[in-house]
Structures are given as structure tokens and as C-alpha cells.
Structure 1
Amino acid sequence: MREKFNKLLEKKGIIIAPGCYDALSAKIIENAGFECAYMTGFGSSAGLLGKPDVGLLSMEEMISNATRIVNAIDIPLIADADTGYGNPLNIIRTVKEYEKCGVAAIHIEDQVTPKRCGHMEGKEVIPAEEMAQKIKAAVDARENTDFKIIARTDARAVLGLDEAIRRAKLYREAGADIIFVESPYTVDEFKIISHEINAPLLANMAEGAKSPMLSAKELEDLGYKIVIYPVGLLFAAAKAMLSVAKEIRDKGTDRDMLNNMTSFKEFNDFIGLSEYNGMSNKYKTEA
């Protein structure tokens, strides 16, 4: 998967990575024809804990979720690694564990611990030089250079665009493969970032959040290499599930909504029941 991801980085065109929060949503992304998926921390916290993205998930929980997703799909996975879960020594373990579980890339952010979703209020950032050392530790810790380190700065919302760009350049010098400036406020800011930073760039199109919603083509034209759509599937699923739950509550049945659902057979086919039935028959004990 890392080789596939590297080929995508080298190939012309932008990498589009919708956000998944569990193995099923990742399979849906793959089935829709995408070449890459993104494990969202926001969605992971919502899906695993039913809680907001305010630093509640541990490294072990995030890696466990990433492992299940990697095992469910045959496309590269970019994973949220929050702040790296500590100082440079912690970063070394974080990188080794994520690399071991099979993801293609991780992003590490310069927020204080506990972190918050990049589009929430109340964020704080650590000193840039401290983050640069964490990036150096991450780069040193990986065993294979095909495993990509993405440096994310959340300084735009806290200290302004100029400081975010200064930090991004520092993190690139520290060895980051890809740069992620979180939550630019305008299209012009996306342009400035692309003009000022000489590195592959990741753009976050967090649905309904602080940044303007640009298309993948628009971002590609601005010079971006990767775009993530982190919570669209999560928000759509939540709205659909709430609708069905209310229907059952109000009517005592959801039979009138069956046309809005995947059928029993379609769903079983999608998640591979026939394959498992075949294996079951292969190893069935003769009477």
C-alpha cells in the first residue's frame, strides 16, 4: 500500500481521500472507486466513543482502528496521528506502531495536548522548534521511507497565516514529506500557502467548517497534491441513521423506508458473505 501511495504522489493529478471512521466506511470508499482513504480522528472519536474530537482517544485506540481499516481495504490509508501522543520519545513509538499496522502515511500536528479538532475553537499550539524536533524524531523512527510523514500546523487560527507558513517551512526542513496547513480562511490563503511552501501540500475540506469548500480540481489548479474530505460520510450516515431511528420510534416500523436502504442481499454481497460461505464449505467437516 505504501508503494501504491508513493506512485500516486509521483503521478500527475491530485489524490482524493474521503474520510473513513471504521472498516465499513473504508470499504464504501474503496467500492466507490477511490484510490486512497483517510482515517479521520474526528470520526474515529465519534464512532468509537460517541464523543467529540478533543483528545480523548489514546494512541492504542487510534492504531487499533487503523489496523481494522487497513485489513478491510486494498487501497492506501492516510491516518490521523493527532499530536503524536507526547514528546519526541513518544513520537518514535507512535511512528513505529503506525508503520507496523500498515498505513501509508500519518499526519502529526503542532497542537498542545490534549488537542482539539482543527476547526474547533480554543486550540493552542506548542513552540515551533519543539514541533520541529518531533518531526525529526518521526523521520528518524520510520524503517521505510515509503512511509510518509505529514506535518500539520494549526497555527493559522491561533497565531495567523504568516506564522503558519513559517512553521510549515520549518517542519519541511525538519524532514516532513508533506505539509498540511490546517484551516485557511479564504481562497487567497490557499493560494498564498501554495506559493510560499515548496512541498507536496495537503488540503482539508472539512465539511461545513472554517475553510471554503473547494473542489479537487480547484485545489489541484492551486498546486495541492492531496485533498481529504474527512467527515462527509460520517455526517451523511448520522443523518440517515437518525431518520430511520425516528421512523421506527414514530411508526413502530421502518418498512416504508426500505427503498432508501441497501437491501439485505446487496449488503451481504458487499461485505463478502459469499466469500466466507465458500471458505466455510471448503473446510466443512464431512458427516
Structure 2
Amino acid sequence: MNGAKKLRQLLAQDGVLQAGGVADAGQARLVQKVGYPVAYLSGAYVNHTRGYPDGVLTLPEIAQRVQEITDRIDIPLIADGDEGFGDALKIQRTIRDFERAGAAGLHMEDMIQKKHGDPLPIPRAVDRLKCLLDSRRDDDFVVIARTDAVAPWRPGVHDDLVRCEQDALERMHAYAEAGADLVMPLYASMDWVRRHGRDLPKPVVILGGAARSWMGHAAEELELDMTAAEMGAYNVKVVIYGTSMLSRSFNFMEKEYRKWLAEGRFAADRQDEIDRIDANNLVGLPEKEALLSRYTG
């Protein structure tokens, strides 16, 4: 059974799916080991692993990472389709390349240039979404329509959040009517979800742990996410943990690198050896050794 069909079956079951955000196959195997039913490939996360800000890598580079991941996991992978990487021809290539690479679904945002400016006018965004839907070859492949109407990079979002939230609501209805399987109001507040989630005609995808402070709140006033189960009462079907591990791991690694540089050594202990063994087991060292023993004598 391919990943798209698996994801469709999971979406048909009761409860909210939690998707662990990853950038590579090693992380994806860890997400699978921990017990997540779905993995999520963040485009921003992949760009960071190559030393670039979000939106720099090309479609072939992201599709290659999709294939690397799906080759090493058994759970479905939802991929970040950015803004479709260009015009209608590129949008068609995006979904077909992702299908061939083994993704179970993708989300496409309604910006003409990633994380820059206002979202496209709704009719134009709907037209691009229909191109995406019409281009899929596997009917099971899941298409998620994302809006950046309340994203922090939209000009004026801090000055008129009410208008931006209303825009997001209109877009979610329009994209659902156009045929999207799920809708994703990026950076929508939990209050927005409580007010509008049940009224949306398609299930909702939420970015868990979104930086609410980007929407004009002081750090001490950060809105606490509902749990996944609590969100389920408001028509939320998938919670994605996108790049949260990136920021946390980057901070941890910086501290460790500074410590080793300052002390002039790495002070290993028994736990480090255990961790190395666990990491090797995670990526399949026992299977590798078994294969070599069986066929090389």
C-alpha cells in the first residue's frame, strides 16, 4: 500500500493525527520509532540543512529529499510544496514529482513569492489550487490548501489582525469549495480555531507550536496551544510540528560546540556510547551487518 492510501485511511479514522516535522531520513526514522503516524517534511527545515533561508532551494532539490525520506520509512509523509515553485507548469511538476518521490500529500501556500508580500487575490489562488488538483495522477494523494493571510510576513498583519483573520476565513472557504482535501490557516490563533473551525467545510491542519509572538504579542503573553485532542473538537484533523525541533536542536548544538571549543576537549561518558549505539540501530546498522554476513561470507 502506498503512502497516499495509508494517509487516506488514517484521515478516515477518528482522532487527530500528529505529524512530526523532519528534514531528513534519519529524523524521519526517529519520528516513526517514537510512534508518530505521519511524518512532515518542512521546506524551511530542508533549506536550513543546506545553509539557506526558506524558499531558496528548487523543486528538484526538495523532491530529492522527499524520495530519500520515503525510501527509509513506512509511515506516510506530508511534504511542503511551497507556493508550487512557479507558474502552472511548475505547479503540475511539483505534485507529480512529489507523487513519484513517494509523498502521501502536500500543502501549497497562496503566495506568489514565498514569505514575501500579500497572498494572491483569491480567484488567482483558487486557479492555482485547481491546477494542482487537476494535475495529480493518484486520486488518493492528499492536497492541503494553505493560506498565509495571518502569517507574520504579510504586510500590515500587526496593524489589522481582524481584517487578516477574516481574509483567512474567506480563503479557507474558497479553497475548500475548489476541492482541497484539507485546509491550513497558517498561524491562525487558537481563538480563531475555536470561533471558525467547526464552520469550515473541510478538515483543518494546524501548525503546532507556531510563534504567536510574531502576531504582535509580547513574549510573556504567548498563547498556549490546545492539545491535539482538544483541537479535534473544532474540526482539526492534523497537527504538524514543523520546524520547532530545528530551533531547539540548533540552540542545543550551539551551546555544546561552544563548550567543547572553550574546554578544548569532548568529555565523553557512558551515555554518549549508548547514544551512538541507539543512533546506529535507528538508521539500520544491524540490518546492514546481517545483509553483509548473509551475502559476502
Establish whether TM, by shorter chain, passes 0.5: yes
Counterpart CA distance in 2 for 1:231 and 1:148 is 21
Q: Does 1:195 pair with 2:198?
A: yes
Q: Which residue of 2 aligns with 1:214?
A: 226
Counterpart position of 1:172? 176
Contact 1:244 1:257 in 2 (8 A): no
Inter-partner Cα distance in structure 1 for 2:270 and 2:132: 48
Structure 1 residues 260, 230: CA separation in 2 closer, same or farther (over 3 Å shift)? farther
| Cα separation, partners in 2 of 1:58 and 1:191, compared to 1, 3 Å | same
Amino acid at match of 1:96: R
The residue type equivalent to 1:278 in the other structure is A
Give the drift of 1:59.
0.8
1:259–1:168 CA distance, 2 compared to 1 (3 A)? same
Displacement of 1:239 after TM fit? Answer: 2.4
Distance 1:261 1:172, change over 3 A: farther
Secondary structure of the 1:176 match is coil
Judge conservation of contact 2:95–2:135 (CA < 8 Å) in 1.
yes
> CA–CA distance in 1 between the matches of 2:102 and 2:280?
26
Are the aligned partners of 2:176 and 2:183 in contact in 1 as well (CA < 8 Å)?
yes
Q: Which runs of 5+ in 1 are unaligned?
A: 117-121
TM-superposed CA distance for 1:283, in Å, is 2.1
RMSD, aligned α-carbons? 1.9
Residues matched between the structures, number:
276
The 8 Å contact of residues 20 and 31 in structure 2, kept in 1 or not, is answered as: yes
Which one of 8, 11, 21 corresponds to residue 9 of structure 1?
A: 11
Looking at structure 2, the residues matched to 126 and 144 of structure 1 have their Cα atoms a distance apart, in angstroms, of: 27
User: Given the superposition, is the C-alpha separation of residues 40 and 103 from structure 1 closer, same or farther in structure 2, using an over 3 Å criterion?
Assistant: same
User: Would you say 1:245 and 2:239 are equivalent positions?
Assistant: no
State the Cα distance separating 1:134 from its structure 2 match.
1.1
Distance 1:266 1:148 in 2: 34
Conserved 8 A contact 1:25-1:233: no
- The structure 1 segments of at least 4 consecutive aligned residues displaced by more than 4 Å after TM superposition are none
1:204 equivalent in structure 2: 207
Task: Tell me if structure 1 keeps the 8 A contact 2:107–2:144.
Answer: yes
1-structure distance, mates of 2:119, 2:198: 24
Change (3 A) 1:138 1:261: farther
Normalised TM-score (structure 2)? 0.87
| CA shift for structure 1 position 68 | 0.8
Residue 53 of structure 2 aligns with which residue?
A: 52
Alignment of 1:76-225 (within 5 A): 76-113=76-113, 115-116=114-115, 123-157=117-151, 158=154, 160-184=164-188, 186-209=189-212, 210=214, 212=223, 213-225=225-237
Q: Given that residues 41 and 79 in structure 2 are in contact (C-alpha distance below 8 angstroms), is that contact kept between their aligned partners in structure 1?
A: yes
Q: 1:36 aligns with which of 35, 38, 50?
A: 38
- SS of 1:151's equivalent in the other structure is strand
Deviates more, 1:198-207 or 1:187-196: 187-196
1:258 positional shift:
5.9
Q: Which moved more, 1:76-85 or 1:259-268?
A: 259-268
- Distance in 1 (CA, whole Å) between partners of 2:279 and 2:85 is 37
- Are the structure 2 counterparts of residues 234 and 257 from structure 1 closer, same or farther at C-alpha, using a change threshold of 3 Å? farther
Instruction: Return closer, same or farther for 1:221/1:262 CA change in 2, 3 Å cut-off.
Output: farther
Q: CA deviation at 1:260?
A: 6.3
Select between 235-244 and 84-93 the one with higher mean Cα deviation. Answer: 235-244
Offset from partner CA, 1:182-206 (integer Å, 9 cap, x none): 111x322112231331101101124
**Aligned residue number for residue 67 of structure 1:** 67
Gap change, CA 1:262 and 1:124, over 3 Å in 2: farther
Alignment of 1:11-30 (within 5 A): 11-30=13-32
- Quick one: distance in 2 between partners of 1:196 and 1:57? 36
1:233, CA displacement in angstroms? Answer: 2.0
Query: Does the C-alpha gap of structure 1 residues 256 and 153 become closer, same or farther in structure 2, counting only changes over 3 Å?
Result: same
Task: Give deviations 1:1-36, integer Å, cap 9, x for gaps.
Answer: 212111110000000002101111111111101110
Give the drift of 1:130. Answer: 1.0
- Structure 1-normalised TM-score? 0.90
Contact 2:186 2:206 in 1 (8 A): yes
